[in-house]
Amino acid sequence: MRATTRKALRDLRRQRTQVGAVALTVALGVAMYVASAGAFRNLSTSYEGTYERLGFADVVASGTDPQALADAALGAGAAEAIVRTTADQPMTIGGTRLQGRLVGLPADAHPAVDDVDVVDGDYLSADDPDGVLLEKHAAATFDLGPGDHLQVLSPSGWHEVTVRGVVISPEYLWPAPSRQQVLGDPYGFAVVFAAEDQVRAWSGQGPTEALALLDGTDRTTVIEAVRAAGATDVLTREDNPSDAALHLDLDGFDKMSVAFPLLFLTAATVAAYVLLARRVLSERPVIGTLMAAGARRGHLIWHYVLQGLLIGLAGSATGAALGAPLTVLITKEYTTELGIPDTVVAGHPDLVVIGLALGVVVGAIGAAVPAFVAARTVPAEAMRNQVVLAGQGWWGAAVSRLRVLPATTRMALRDVVRNPRRTLATMLGSVIALVLVLASVGLMTSMITALDAQYGTIQREDAQVVVVPGTTDQVSASLDATDGVTTVEPSLVARVTVSSGDKSYATDLQGFEPGTAMHGFVDGGSDVPLPTDGVLAGARLADLLDVSVGSTLTFTDAAGATSTATLAGFVDEPLGTLVYGTRQTVSSLVADPAEVLLVQFDEGADRSALRSTITTMDDVLAYSDTRALLTMIESYLGLFWAFVGVVVVLGGVLALAVIEVTMAVNLVERTIELATLRAAGVTVRRAAGVLATENIVAIIAGLPFGLVAGFFAARGMLGLFNSDMFIIELDLGWWVLGLAALGVLLAAAASQIPAARAIRRLDVAQVVRERAA
């Protein structure tokens, strides 16, 4: 082995703690990259596998004549096109009344489009007309299996059916009733598949939609064809609420595979740079000697770059080794949790190679500057045993005027510009830590603020009760008389397609009492009244339909009837993009909207008992606990904060790693001064104080940049998730910014401890003797 290689290896071993810290940071970054990018690919492949096997529809068109739409799709080149009936019907499962969805399937054969995968029991049979298939999530929520019973409301009353099988559907991998209700009460929604004839009978509707599978056919052509054939609403695969929700998750993996590794690898690059800069500095006389002997610059550069590469490679090899099994673990856990049947757990050698390369790049970049500095060492200067310092300039002059400060403080303040690169590295440490902390905490605080707004200011009801048409007053009276219920208010809800020009959007139209106590309408932080004429819409509708206040919106109801209303204003709502009007407005826009009673409970009321009481009342069709999501999130809040805690700790560790390494360089630079101070009787505490002051000044100088960068990073991350389903504004309170800054300062303060130890270990006699000779 070459002497230079041996030197490199032994040097790294001598600094194994710091080398280990840098390598670990690289490893974490690479592991995150390999695991999240691999999981993203596996999950995408898993979804696609399920979609392909079960023929997940590419286009779903609804209109008055679905068969004509299916024919049009086939005429435009679709590989398959079918018609079916989908209807939202009240159901009773396990004694709970809820909003169910009936989906029609062929009785004896699997459909060519939007098939189901029977995971328990049997498929439908023409010999068993009352046999149905229950979607897996509902089966799990209500603990039902083959042979169990549930009730479906039909025009003739409640009809008991038997569960023949439990199924997975590509349309409901995530059980969302609509894009407006992606996150909701699991006890408030269930999907039941039944024979098409039965669904038509129970819902009183004919086929409601056409489903097309394209298999390579141009989608735009098919969409244009079905629109020309009279489609009032056309949804693509990406519009499907389940697919959209899952893609939000997938996008999270995708973004995470870039953002977090980038932060860690940047920190590792800085740490590697500082570590090797320190090495070059401490080896300056040796390098000077080598240069005096005529050492070739290229060889010297390679010697130091090699060390960077070894550190990076050690980290990335560890990271890749961790990332590969982590990919498998994440994929399996995720697909199992969601019940995705076609789990693809593949290895991704290219990601491992990229991960390894990332480590190499980190090492090379981190080592490049120190290596070039080493190669540019002027032997004569190196022999003088003096560090070439940057000029003090205006800063030095300004500090000189601060005569009220002790000399040691002035020295520390001047030292801030002594080595600008090191000071910048220290500042960068605080910037990276703040970005990591604020981006994560910002996500969490914004989410909590959004939920508080959604369920505190906007949706003020505790539950929604769907009642038999025409029974609003009776049920309202019964609810009023129920213990635990404080307020009851009638409302109307209708599933509509809103359109303007050639753009349309399927959503819910809700009607409230004028001056409703159940819903707050907020625009730009100010309350807006519910207009008596016209409608309010979620702000995202402006982009979706390219409309503005005063535009005319066209509403198409489930029966295909259309009407128009003026857009009177927008509202800011975190969850979903809905349209609101008074009950009178809604009644005038759609025929037969669902009658829904909005209910508020006493604080501390037993919600489970109230659910049982209300769902057994006469004329109650369905019940949904509005706050189920909030309750669920609050139950997991400890877990969320634990996650935030881990991220904050990681941010602190990153800051510590960078600051610790930069301070080690600081110590090397100033060995003579510190030894001289110690020789003069200056205490370790005072000597360490000089270093600490300099570091803290650099950290404080980095704080404003870190806070600004962290703010924009948090906003950018939130922006990635915003859509018509979620519109979450960044909420980073001053207290969050203050605590984050304080945390970084504490991390910096903690990193002074090893510095004090190093000063205590300083062999004053040796240093003074060597330099005085």
Footprint of other proteins (CB under 8 A): 2-4, 6-7, 10-11, 14, 283, 285-286, 288-297, 299-300, 303, 378-380, 383, 385, 770, 773
Integer Cα distance of 340 and 243 in angstroms: 12
- Partner residues linked to 554 by β-bridges: 499, 564
Tokens of 51: 């979609």
Integer Cα distance of 573 and 233 in angstroms: 24
Which are the contacts of 380, defined by CB distance < 8 A and separation ≥ 6?
288
Q: CB 315 → other proteins: shortest distance, Å?
A: 21
The smaller minimum CB distance to other proteins, of residues 5 and 486, is found at: 5
Q: CB 10 → other proteins: shortest distance, Å?
A: 4
Integer Cα distance of 580 and 523 in angstroms: 13
The smaller minimum CB distance to other proteins, of residues 210 and 306, is found at: 306
Integer Cα distance of 614 and 187 in angstroms: 14
The distance of Cα 634 from the centroid of its chain, to the nearest Å, equals 18
Q: CB 327 → other proteins: shortest distance, Å?
A: 38
- 683, 464 contact by CB (below 8 A): no
Integer Cα distance of 529 and 571 in angstroms: 10
In which residue are the tokens 């330099």 written? 771
The smaller minimum CB distance to other proteins, of residues 11 and 462, is found at: 11
The smaller minimum CB distance to other proteins, of residues 407 and 773, is found at: 773
Q: CB 743 → other proteins: shortest distance, Å?
A: 37
Integer Cα distance of 699 and 659 in angstroms: 9
Q: Is 63 in a helix, a strand, or coil?
A: coil
Integer Cα distance of 388 and 401 in angstroms: 24
The smaller minimum CB distance to other proteins, of residues 230 and 396, is found at: 396
Tokens of 499: 């359109």
- 360, 309 contact by CB (below 8 A): yes
Q: CB 6 → other proteins: shortest distance, Å?
A: 6
Q: CB 686 → other proteins: shortest distance, Å?
A: 29
Amino acid identity of residue 329, one-letter, is: L
Q: CB 3 → other proteins: shortest distance, Å?
A: 4
Closest by Cα among 644, 309, 272 to 428: 272
- 410, 400 contact by CB (below 8 A): yes
Bridging pattern class, strands 594-601 and 485-500: antiparallel
Q: CB 761 → other proteins: shortest distance, Å?
A: 16
The smaller minimum CB distance to other proteins, of residues 481 and 773, is found at: 773
Tokens of 97: 């009344």
Q: CB 441 → other proteins: shortest distance, Å?
A: 43
CA dihedral 396, 397, 401, 403 (to 10 degrees): 30
Sign, CA dihedral 352-354-355-361, equals positive
Q: CB 372 → other proteins: shortest distance, Å?
A: 14
The smaller minimum CB distance to other proteins, of residues 11 and 557, is found at: 11
Q: Is 471 in a helix, a strand, or coil?
A: coil
Tokens of 72: 């049009």
Q: CB 258 → other proteins: shortest distance, Å?
A: 38
The smaller minimum CB distance to other proteins, of residues 13 and 401, is found at: 13
The smaller minimum CB distance to other proteins, of residues 293 and 680, is found at: 293
For the chain, the C-alpha Rg in angstroms (whole number) is: 33
Closest by Cα among 674, 747, 659, 748 to 423: 659
The smaller minimum CB distance to other proteins, of residues 13 and 403, is found at: 13
The smaller minimum CB distance to other proteins, of residues 52 and 770, is found at: 770
Q: CB 442 → other proteins: shortest distance, Å?
A: 45
The smaller minimum CB distance to other proteins, of residues 183 and 287, is found at: 287
